[in-house]
Amino acid sequence: MKSIQSDVNAQDTDALDRTGFDALVDKALSRRSLLKGGMAAGMLGFFSLSPVAQAVAAALEPSRLLGFKAIKASTDDAIALPAGYRSSILMSWGDPVLPGAPEFDHKGGNSAADQALQFGDNTDGMALFHFRRPDGSNDPDRAVLAVNNEYCNYKYLLQNGEALTREDVDKAKAAHGNTVVELVREGGQWRYVRDSKLNRRIHLETEMQLTGPVAGHALVQTAADPDGRKVFGTVNNCANGRTPWGTYLTCEENFQGVFGADRDEDVPPEQARYGIKAAEDRYRWWQHDDRFNLSKTPNEPNRFGWIVEYDPFDPQSTPMKRTALGRVKHENAELVLNKDGHVVVYMGDDERGEHIYRFVSKNKFVEGQDAMNRTLLEDGTLYVAQFNGDSDKHAGRGRWIELSHGKNGLSVENGFADQADVLVHTRRAAKQVEATTMDRPEWVTHNPHNGQVYCTLTNNKHRGNKDEQPLNAANPRASNHYGQIIRWEAKGGDHTAETFDWDLYLIAGNPTVHEGNLYAGSDAITADNMFNSPDGLGFDNDGRLWIQTDGDDSNAGDFAGMGNNQMLCGDPATGEIRRFMVGPVGAEVTGLTFSDDCKTMFVGIQHPTGAFPDYLDGGKPRSSIVVVTREDGGVIGAA
Ligand code: FEO
Ligand code: CA
Ligand code: CA
């Protein structure tokens, strides 16, 4: 999401005192040549510990894994792809989804009620679920697509450009949430089915249920819901996850923006910790809807910041907020089925100096017992990561610290009343146990071939500049405006183990602007593939790592030559990175999913600011899902 965090980042990065920045660069302890040696040593040590990784590396020819010709950076207001690839628009903000929905009105005339029937705004994480045939196989050409609608841009959503009335706020509430649509593939091309019975809009008026340790607790009770179990809506749904039992996970990120209060004293420190402010003046929901005003409904924010699970094939089902997974600004939820049947979920909290989390289910997955499997995220143990290591090698050993009441100082004496208190105030608990502060953890993904886990650390202007965020081995650069990708391997390949080995898979940078220091980037970064602010991340079935960016697209200064936001593809065995896609002007590239055969890739283009995708005179730019296919019908990214 650019609107809340990255806009600020971009402005602040531009405003960096150049002399101060250069001084920081000069002071960086490790020179690039040392980094190269360190990375090589780190990777060697890492892989040498992993027979699985060695086998995969030996089995995969790099040239087979990345089979396309890299493209150049671009500042064009268009989608750019390698030769032999094509793209089309699947669905754009405001497209009709439910029966009775009107067409999108470029003049801004759609009402709140219209928006609730149309595709929500700012497409983000998504997942494709193929229909299951009676014989248990997947139908290759029919599916539902569950999509996050992260936030809205008042400049385009509202005719006045600001929320002046309850109707304006209701329209914004209807633009948030999720959209589910049926898709069909005809002649090799996917399209969405308008008015399908499976289509669904989920927004701020959709009834949901709190589950897990926090459900029913005093911290989530309100006048409208004295039982503390029934919540209306989900908000700021950033990235996503999916489960082996066929449900979708949608993750609530920057919920702080939709809350406000009449007076400063009505925002207690535990809410300020998540960024909630009195007199919030960007979205103004609190001025028109008491539910979002802490002076009137103080516990409502505790009912957001969760991971939500729902069945994408049942539009009548009640989405479940899974409180056992903690309350943070969730980016995505990467679910790994451990070899012993435990379900493990890796998660990032996207804020400067926040943390990486792991959930381990209490019970085990049983194939075919989906009614039981659907309860697995209700009960389990939450952990937070501590990355220890060698600053020169950018590698080391980490451990997971349990966030259970009564353990690791999470006690009544330290201000934690019970487990619900720990979970509602997950950030405070992580601080209590001295988790490692990270450079804004965004998406987490795992390699299906060897179980190694990767997480984007998008950037952090505060690193090295705030006392509580000193440099550390995993976050080695002051004023980190480029970002890095960290990866780890669970001890013995057991994702429930206490320890793991980690290294930095890559450090983004600009080798045409910086030389001889970490800001030039790690070995894999060249003038031909450089980028900043890695964010979206995902492996395909073959083990290609897709990297999406949400960064500074000024194409100037420290970002010269990087162009618009983009998507790259990495071969984790060799470290090679190639640029695959460039997005249109102003947009972030975020959200990806594949058809089962990996011959179609769905990619999210969020918050464009030019003329994409309609290129209409006077038309509004619209966030859109793009369908990428190959002219020869082959697998995306392969030879
Ligand atoms: Fe919604 Fe952290 O990106
Ligand atoms: Ca993101
Ligand atoms: Ca981001």
> In this predicted model, what pLDDT tens digit does every residue of 435-464 receive, in sequence order?
999 999 999 999 999 999 999 999 999 999
CA of 368 to the centre of ligand 2 (A): 33
> In this predicted model, what pLDDT tens digit does every residue of 291-316 receive, in sequence order?
999 999 999 999 999 999 999 999 99
Q: Whose CA is nearest to atom 3 of ligand 1?
A: 1
Which of the four pLDDT bands, split at 50, 70 and 90, describes residue 64?
confident
CA of 329 to the centre of ligand 1 (A): 8
| Cβ–ligand 1 contact at 300 (below 6 Å) | no
Average pLDDT over residues 204-208: 98
CA distance 295 to 307: 26
CA of 453 to the centre of ligand 1 (A): 19
pTM score: 0.92
Tell me the pLDDT of the chain averaged across its residues.
Answer: 92
| Cβ–ligand 1 contact at 1 (below 6 Å) | yes
| DSSP tag of 11 | H
Task: Report the pLDDT value the prediction gives residue 19, as an integer from 0 to 100.
Answer: 31
Query: How is residue 271 written in tokens?
Result: 């809410």
- Concatenate the DSSP letters of all residues of 499-551 into one string: EEEEEEEEE---TTT--SSGGG--TT--TTT--S-EEEEEE-TT-PEEEEE-S
Task: Report the pLDDT value the prediction gives residue 615, as an integer from 0 to 100.
Answer: 98
566-570 and 577-582 strand pairing: antiparallel
Q: Whose CA is nearest to atom 1 of ligand 1?
A: 1
pLDDT of 39 over the 70 cut: no
CA distance 175 to 163: 13
Among the bound ligands, the one closest to the CA of 6:
3
CA of 607 to the centre of ligand 1 (A): 13
Average pLDDT over residues 206-213: 98
Task: Report the pLDDT value the prediction gives residue 1, as an integer from 0 to 100.
Answer: 57
Residue of 231, 233, 93, 209 lying closest to 152 (CA atoms) = 93
CA of 238 to the centre of ligand 1 (A): 5
Average pLDDT over residues 219-239: 98
Please state the length of the chain: 639
CA distance 119 to 101: 10
Measured CA to CA in angstroms, residue 389 lies from 445, 471, 499, 540 at distances of: 22, 12, 13, 30
| Cβ–ligand 1 contact at 150 (below 6 Å) | yes
Average pLDDT over residues 175-184: 98
CA of 603 to the centre of ligand 1 (A): 15
Helix axes 32-48, 51-59, angle to 10 degrees: 110
CA of 383 to the centre of ligand 1 (A): 21
Among the bound ligands, the one closest to the CA of 254:
1
Among the bound ligands, the one closest to the CA of 253:
1
pLDDT of 638 over the 90 cut: yes
| Cβ–ligand 1 contact at 238 (below 6 Å) | yes
Query: How is residue 444 written in tokens?
Result: 């987490």
- Concatenate the DSSP letters of all residues of 119-185 into one string: --SSEEEEEEEEEEPTTSPEEEEEEEEEEEE----HHHHSTTSS--SHHHHHHHHHHSEEEEEEEEE
| Cβ–ligand 1 contact at 309 (below 6 Å) | no
Residue of 547, 496, 531, 573 lying closest to 55 (CA atoms) = 573
Peptide bond before residue 613 is cis, with ω within 30 degrees of 0 = yes
Query: How is residue 50 written in tokens?
Result: 């992993």
| Cβ–ligand 1 contact at 354 (below 6 Å) | no
| Cβ–ligand 1 contact at 252 (below 6 Å) | no
- Do residues 203 and 170 lie in contact, with contact meaning Cβ atoms separated by under 8 Å? no
The phi, psi pair for 154, rounded to 5°, reads -60, -30
What atom in ligand 1 is closest to the CA of residue 1? 1
Average pLDDT over residues 135-162: 97
pLDDT of 46 over the 90 cut: no
What atom in ligand 1 is closest to the CA of residue 350? 2
How many Å separate Cα 343 from the centre of its chain? 20
Within a 10 A sphere around the Cβ of 113, how many other Cβ atoms? 14
Pick the most confident of 8-17, 40-49, 444-453: 444-453
Domain ranges of the chain: 5-57, 85-253+305-630
> In this predicted model, what pLDDT tens digit does every residue of 493-502 receive, in sequence order?
999 999 999 9
What atom in ligand 1 is closest to the CA of residue 458? 2
Which of the four pLDDT bands, split at 50, 70 and 90, describes residue 37?
very low
SS3 473: coil
SS3 115: helix
Count of H helices and E strands in the chain?
13, 28
Q: Which amino acid is at 93?
A: W
- Do residues 439 and 424 lie in contact, with contact meaning Cβ atoms separated by under 8 Å? no
| Cβ–ligand 1 contact at 253 (below 6 Å) | yes
- Do residues 98 and 610 lie in contact, with contact meaning Cβ atoms separated by under 8 Å? no
| Cβ–ligand 1 contact at 331 (below 6 Å) | yes
Query: How is residue 372 written in tokens?
Result: 């039981």
What atom in ligand 1 is closest to the CA of residue 253? 1
CA of 84 to the centre of ligand 1 (A): 31
Task: Report the pLDDT value the prediction gives residue 392, as an integer from 0 to 100.
Answer: 86
CA distance 320 to 207: 9
pLDDT of 543 over the 50 cut: yes
Within a 10 A sphere around the Cβ of 63, how many other Cβ atoms? 11
Judge residue 227's burial from the number of C-beta atoms within 10 Å of its C-beta, 0-12 exposed, 13-18 middle, 19 or more buried.
exposed
Task: Report the pLDDT value the prediction gives residue 391, as an integer from 0 to 100.
Answer: 84
Which of the four pLDDT bands, split at 50, 70 and 90, describes residue 44?
very low
> In this predicted model, what pLDDT tens digit does every residue of 351-404 receive, in sequence order?
999 999 999 999 999 999 999 999 999 999 999 999 999 888 999 999 999 999
Return the sign of the alpha-carbon dihedral for residues 159, 162, 168, 170: positive
Per residue in 229-249, is it b (16+ CB within 10 Å) or e — as a string?
bbbbbbbbbbbbbbbebebbb
CA distance 300 to 202: 18
Region for 595 from its dihedrals, namely left if φ exceeds 0, alpha if ψ lies in -120 to 50, beta otherwise: beta
CA distance 138 to 116: 31
